[in-house]
């Protein structure tokens, strides 16, 4: 593959349409490593698509940063046209690809902004810069972030702490700082999810949320950060699978010409790429058959069709719509012009070669540590009232033990309490009932946050009931919550004032070490000594 782009005007109609499609692919090199075979094609299928269908790009998940460096080269070599290589890296490249920098969720910056907006803005800028640098270093050229949704609904199960704040001005300030930081490198940025997914109580991965706010409310809250992102020259905007009843009572935003063309293009003046959210998601997939969804998205004004069920079916659907007169070649060419403008930024730019050895540098890790330190919340009383001669329990609760990648036996949430003579009990929401059978004095550590496909924002009624019963037993002597501040809000209404607590937005090893250090009042030298005694430096 060469960085010089071909002349898109010489493409056939099918080749042009292929450029509008981005498919999901595994970040792993080998077929036997594929984690989601329903969504991720085998290498033979993927190489066939890239060579024969002239697809515009891929979106990757899985693998280490080092493996992605090889995988991205492999994919570019399979394609006759340089590819968009995208990833949902809202919390840094390390969120998806181990070894790279893994930032706290964006709401950690919103927490810092409450007391020091300039400092939070500085960190957001650095986060954008580091994310773009590391993405390009391993071959990712399209960053599907920042999220500019205003999370003003605590029950939002899908945006939640992925948002910077519940304040539209803070979201605007921090997201534009991220975009400006990323612009130090030739990577594409994405504001999402238009026209705003923050005030929903159900997950568009599963169903179609409905927003019933009037136009004035939408203009004065949801759209504010999008105006700011456009002014900051964000490269692309991702659509939301939402029904905005004030604007279009019949179509999700992704399929609405009123919303994508009339509002986003004409009224807001956005001239970059419009990319759909994943078209396999329940919020749009249930609306019509896959061919009709594809055509409607193009009619609405989408330039990039993200993760259709099948790319060949998608290309045929758009091609047939042109042949029938429902769509025009001119409409396809409109999108191709925008796609080529974006690809010229990526592939005709000499400032692109970044060494993979530039990821997760010391100064990058220091930035992450500073964000963790400055966003940490804790009680006024941090005195653990533990009887030294009693057996103690380190009770760790996760959403799902089988999907707790942030925990392994050398993680600080395990190791630090273990060195202080706490015995581990690890449960998830399916086995939470067992915690009531034990009367040992307890350190309670909870890992819970809103996430796509989870279905709820924090505690469900069953888990809240178990926690209530556990706290009534008065055996919880210390509490650490990693993830959702809305879960902390619930616990603050339940726990006694003399129970010390610590809250961290992140769930990473670094956040665990900092939270345990704070709760146990450990000095930096004590923490280092603990880490070294385990043969694994986690600070």
All structural domains of the chain: 8-358 (3.20.20.300), 376-533 (3.40.50.10870)
pTM of the model: 0.94
Residue with tokens 């995988």: 71
The answer to whether 501 and 478 have CB atoms below 8 angstroms apart is yes
- Residue 380: phi and psi, rounded to 5, are -60, -35
| Number of alpha helices (DSSP H) and beta strands (DSSP E) in the chain | 19, 16
DSSP result, 62-115: -SBHHHHHHHHHHHHHH-SSPPEEEE--BTBGGGTSBTS--PPPTHHHHHHHTT
pLDDT given for residue 368 in this prediction: 98
Distance CA 366, CA 379 (A): 25
The answer to whether 222 and 199 have CB atoms below 8 angstroms apart is yes
Alpha helices in 422-522 (DSSP H): 461-472, 485-492, 509-519
Alpha-carbon torsion angle 7, 10, 14, 15, nearest 10: -30
Among candidate residues 205, 248, 364, 399, the one labeled active-site is 205
pLDDT given for residue 51 in this prediction: 93
Among candidate residues 199, 235, 277, 303, the one labeled active-site is 277
DSSP result, 298-367: HHHT-SBEES-S-HHHHHHHHHHHHHHTSS-HHHHHHHHHHHHHHHHHHHS-STT---GGGTT-HHHHHH
Q: Is 277 a catalytic residue?
A: yes
pLDDT given for residue 96 in this prediction: 95
Distance CA 172, CA 231 (A): 10
Distance CA 49, CA 407 (A): 37
Q: Is 205 a catalytic residue?
A: yes
pLDDT given for residue 287 in this prediction: 74
pLDDT given for residue 245 in this prediction: 93
Nearest Cα neighbor of 337 from 95, 14, 20 is 20
Neighbours of 397 (CB within 10 A): 23
What is the greatest pairwise CA distance in the chain? Answer: 81
pLDDT given for residue 352 in this prediction: 63
Tens of pLDDT along the chain (539 residues) come to: 444 799 999 999 999 999 999 999 999 999 999 998 989 999 999 999 999 999 999 999 999 999 999 999 999 999 999 999 999 999 999 999 999 999 999 999 999 999 999 999 999 999 999 999 999 999 999 999 999 999 988 888 788 999 999 999 999 999 999 999 999 999 999 999 999 998 876 655 656 788 889 999 999 999 999 999 999 999 999 999 999 999 999 999 999 999 999 999 999 999 999 999 999 887 677 778 999 999 999 999 999 999 999 999 999 999 999 999 999 999 999 999 999 999 999 998 755 678 999 999 999 999 999 999 999 999 998 888 766 678 899 999 998 888 888 888 889 999 999 999 999 999 998 889 889 999 999 999 999 986 554 555 568 888 899 999 999 999 999 999 999 999 999 999 998 888 999 999 999 999 999 999 999 999 888 888 877 776 554 55
pLDDT given for residue 211 in this prediction: 87
pLDDT given for residue 1 in this prediction: 41
């Amino acid at each position: 593959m060469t960085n010089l782009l071909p002349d898109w005007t010489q493409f056939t109609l099918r080749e042009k349409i292929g450029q509008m499609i981005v498919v999901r692919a595994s970040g792993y090199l080998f077929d036997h490593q594929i984690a989601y075979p329903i969504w991720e094609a085998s290498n033979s299928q993927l190489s066939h698509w890239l060579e024969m269908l002239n697809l515009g790009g891929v979106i990757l998940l899985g693998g280490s940063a080092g493996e992605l460096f090889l995988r991205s080269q492999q994919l570019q070599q399979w394609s006759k046209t340089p590819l968009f290589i995208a990833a949902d890296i809202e919390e840094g490249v390390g969120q998806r690809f181990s070894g790279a920098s893994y930032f706290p969720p964006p709401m950690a910056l919103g927490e810092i902004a409450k007391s020091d907006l300039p400092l939070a803005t500085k960190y957001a800028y650095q986060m954008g810069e580091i994310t773009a640098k590391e993405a390009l270093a391993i071959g990712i050229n399209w960053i599907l972030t920042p999220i500019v949704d205003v999370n003003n609904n605590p029950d939002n199960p899908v945006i939640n702490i992925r948002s910077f704040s519940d304040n539209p001005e803070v979201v605007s300030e921090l997201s534009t700082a991220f975009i400006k930081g990323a612009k130090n490198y030739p990577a594409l940025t994405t504001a999402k999810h238009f026209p705003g997914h923050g005030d929903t109580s159900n997950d568009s991965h599963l169903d179609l949320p409905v927003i019933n706010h009037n136009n004035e409310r939408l203009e004065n809250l949801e759209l504010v950060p999008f105006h700011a992102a456009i002014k900051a020259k964000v490269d692309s905007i991702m659509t939301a699978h939402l029904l905005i009843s004030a604007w279009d009572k019949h179509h999700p935003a992704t399929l609405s010409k009123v919303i994508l063309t009339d509002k986003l293009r004409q009224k807001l003046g956005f001239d970059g790429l419009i990319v759909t959210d994943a078209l396999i998601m329940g919020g749009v997939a249930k609306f019509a058959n896959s061919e009709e969804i594809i055509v409607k998205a193009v009619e609405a004004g989408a330039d990039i069709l993200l993760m259709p069920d099948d790319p060949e079916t998608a290309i045929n659907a758009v091609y047939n719509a042109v042949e029938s007169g429902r769509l025009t070649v001119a409409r396809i060419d409109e999108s191709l012009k925008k796609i080529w403008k974006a690809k010229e930024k990526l592939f005709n730019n000499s400032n692109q070669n970044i060494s993979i050895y530039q990821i997760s540098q010391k100064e990058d890790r220091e930035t992450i540590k500073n964000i963790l330190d400055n966003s940490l919340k804790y009680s006024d009383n941090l005195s653990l009232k533990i009887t030294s001669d009693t057996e103690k329990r380190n009770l760790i609760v996760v959403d799902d033990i089988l999907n707790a990648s942030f925990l392994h036996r050398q993680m600080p949430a395990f190791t630090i309490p273990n060195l202080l003579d706490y015995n581990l009990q690890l449960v998830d929401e399916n086995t939470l009932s067992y915690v009531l059978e034990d009367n040992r004095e307890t350190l309670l550590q909870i890992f819970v946050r809103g996430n796509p496909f989870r279905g709820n924002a924090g505690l469900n009624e069953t888990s809240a009931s178990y926690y209530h019963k556990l706290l009534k037993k008065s055996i919880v002597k210390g509490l650490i919550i990693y993830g959702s501040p809305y879960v902390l809000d619930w616990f603050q209404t339940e726990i006694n004032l003399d129970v010390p607590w610590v809250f961290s937005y992140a769930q990473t090893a670094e956040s665990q070490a900092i939270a345990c250090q704070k709760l146990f009042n450990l000095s930096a030298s004590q923490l280092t000594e603990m880490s070294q005694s385990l043969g694994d430096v986690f600070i």
